[in-house]
Structure 1
Amino acid sequence: MEVQDRTELCFPHLPNISCRSKMYSWSGAVYLAILLSSISSFTVALNLLVIISVSHFRQLHTPTNILLLSLAVSDFLVGIMVMPGAIVLHTSCWLFGDLMCSLYNYTAFIVICSSVGDMVLISIDRYVAICDPLHYTTKITVNRVKLCVCLCWLFSALLSIVFTKNNLIQPGKYNSCHGECVIVIDNISGVVDLVLSFIIPVSLIIILYMRVFVVAVSQARAMRSHVAAVTLQVSLTITSKKSELKAARTLGILVVVYLLCFCPYYCLSLVGSKTLFSYLFELFLGMLFYFNSCMNPVIYAMFYPWFRKAIKLIVTLQILQPGSSDANIL
């Protein structure tokens, strides 16, 4: 894909202060816009199905699913707000003004931070479910999870102000010309971002899931050693443990995919090189990061039968029938 200078101005009626449109070749810009638009559309549609499923069916109002709902909301906002903005930034000029540029960057930071927080909460949820199953129902309740989700979003909004305060106070402060949307983070904010949005969350996620993996393996061996038991009590216990282990495996895949998509982009953004190769590579990793928001519902569909059943009921409009929220979805 070729990058070339164009002589067209973003604002032809402002020749002295307008940016020049520097973009991909026409065909490259079209391909990129189609690709990002397709990812954005699938992301919005699939995560909307998750939001409707968990919100509508009462059987799905569990602590773990509340966390998945919060993650789906983050992914939905990525698809409906962050991706379209990225399409504009990478294929044409920013035509929506400095204030909208600042608000766009602020919203993007909130969504990313909340997504990281959701992943940490999901890891904690699985850690307690696998490592301390006897106290799971008392420690992890729906109301406590809802409170944690609200605090996660509030913390993300407050933390994002730290990163974008200069842009919010003086929109367009770092733009060299009209038609540009630039955000600059000072050194102190960059360190805070690195520690709170990357090092600490990723470390917690990895440590918790390593512990979950060790305990899950030992529990799987214990279940195999008791497979010959025929009493109802043992049968119910084994079934319950298998369900928890399956949930841990599914959410483990979710976390691994997230880390694979999130870490490379974040690491490259810290380097900050401005060469053509690094720009194209950063664009690719950015698309990979966005694609993760589309992948999460696909993972649900692959491993959660309740999600596939919910999709069928939603698509066939059976959720519009009276009492459909009480349907047996599990």
Structure 2
Amino acid sequence: MSSSNDSDGIVPLPTIQGAPLEASLLSIASVLTVFGNLGTLAAFWVDRSLRQKPSNLFLVSLSAADFLMGLFVLPLRAMETALGYWLLGEVPCMFLTFFANIALTVAIYMITAISVDRFLLVSKDYSRYLAIVSLKSVRITILSLWGLVILSTIVEMILWGTDALPPPFPVNFYFACLPPVKLNQPFLMGIFVFGFFIPLTIMTVCSLGFMLHLRKRLKGKIHAAGEFSTAVSDTSGTARRTAWTTVASSAPTRGTVVATHGLAPPEQPVNDGASTASGVEGNGTETRETRRRTVLRNRYLKPAITMAALLAVFVACTLPYLLIAGIISPICPTCYTYQTRVHIANLMFANSCINPILYAATQSKIRDFYRTHVFRICRRR
């Protein structure tokens, strides 16, 4: 391992000024992260309906990763930020790095998986989407990503412990918690490519595709399997099970009385349970357009809001670190101070405390869980 006691040859790092206010905010973020994500996990455990949708397991996995971040990483980061230096030595630094790598990388991969899931939701027929995003496939994806991240982190710890990738200068582990393997530029670039840039590219492509397909779907230009179209009918006058469409048809639709010159109106087809044509029926049932908008809102708009919120917060918290540590650092290592790196890393880690707030803001059932199980207990006390 890299020596932390030998002063010979150690290049002193720039002095870090303690930031008590930032450390206090990190401490608050740690508490919010632990209890917020614990509440999210409890909501999924108590409410079976939240577990019925396979893609919701991605949110469970993301909450588990954020919980690890709040439990193991943020408290140690708060201590270092308050003091202005790292005083625990190399082994605790390895402990911090191990859990930080797992929690952060898994969170990034889960957000990427959510982006892909939302793209498939809006770009495929719903029946086809359910066939692709099944409970089995989601579980395999989650377990594979966790296994890959844990394995890669163990490899990094082995490289660190054996000095297989010696840093350009020794690190004083009683001054800064700086993994030596991440001072190796090729290794660092590999981490950023596979851990940040590729997932971020997938998120961007899926988000753009999602917005494009959602716009078309809201205009009725994309088929959505499982609904009845009023524009397509067979020769017997019975509506066929087709997708939504905006194509106008001159043929009479079900529920429409056709006035003819002395001819009796055509026989009404048997009601097969599908929604009626546009216009309100006499029995007060909702129109086809109302049902269509309701399905669109529940099936597409709510997931869109959740994805947009997660991506916006993720980019805002992570992009500064990507720019400085992944792009500026290899080109100009002296263009920023170590203190700047600490601050932007804290911002990236603090993203974990915002996610449970987003879940509660965008998921009504999670809000109901807090209202019925958490807030009620607090009011009783």
2:184 paired with 1:128:
no
> What is the match of residue 7 of structure 1?
none
Structure 1 stretch 92-101 or stretch 141-150: which is displaced more? 92-101
Aligned CA distance change for structure 1 residues 142 and 23 (closer, same or farther; 3 Å):
same
Alignment partners' CA distance in 2, 1:179 and 1:278: 15
Structure 1 stretch 106-115 or stretch 155-164: which is displaced more? 155-164
Aligned CA distance change for structure 1 residues 274 and 33 (closer, same or farther; 3 Å):
farther
Task: Note the C-alpha offset of 1:94.
Answer: 3.6
> What is the match of residue 178 of structure 2?
182
> What is the match of residue 229 of structure 2?
none
Aligned CA distance change for structure 1 residues 130 and 229 (closer, same or farther; 3 Å):
farther
Aligned CA distance change for structure 1 residues 21 and 123 (closer, same or farther; 3 Å):
closer
Which amino acid is the alignment partner of residue 255 of structure 1?
L
Which amino acid is the alignment partner of residue 292 of structure 1?
N
**Among 360, 370, 374, the residue aligned to 1:315:** 374
Structure 1 stretch 251-260 or stretch 236-245: which is displaced more? 236-245
What does 1:212-251 correspond to in 2, within 5 Å?
212-222=210-220, 228=278, 230=280, 235-246=290-301, 247-251=303-307
Aligned CA distance change for structure 1 residues 213 and 177 (closer, same or farther; 3 Å):
closer
Aligned CA distance change for structure 1 residues 179 and 39 (closer, same or farther; 3 Å):
same
2:149 paired with 1:90:
no
Task: Note the C-alpha offset of 1:169.
Answer: 3.3
Alignment partners' CA distance in 1, 2:358 and 2:245: 27
Aligned length: 303
Task: Note the C-alpha offset of 1:123.
Answer: 0.8
**TM-score by structure 2 length?**
0.70
Alignment partners' CA distance in 2, 1:75 and 1:127: 24
Alignment partners' CA distance in 2, 1:282 and 1:177: 16
Aligned CA distance change for structure 1 residues 85 and 140 (closer, same or farther; 3 Å):
same
Structure 1 stretch 91-100 or stretch 248-257: which is displaced more? 91-100
Task: Report the aligned-residue RMSD.
Answer: 3.3
Which structure would you say has the larger Rg?
2
Task: Note the C-alpha offset of 1:190.
Answer: 1.7
Partner SS for 1:63: coil
Structure that is richer in helix per residue: 1
Which amino acid is the alignment partner of residue 76 of structure 2?
G
- For the Cα contact (< 8 Å) 2:104–2:349, is it kept in 1? no
Which amino acid is the alignment partner of residue 355 of structure 2?
N
Structure 1 stretch 172-181 or stretch 208-217: which is displaced more? 172-181
Task: Note the C-alpha offset of 1:225.
Answer: 6.8
**Among 145, 159, 184, the residue aligned to 1:152:** 145
2:97 paired with 1:105:
yes
Which amino acid is the alignment partner of residue 159 of structure 2?
N
Which amino acid is the alignment partner of residue 294 of structure 2?
T
Equivalent pairs: percent with the same residue? 22
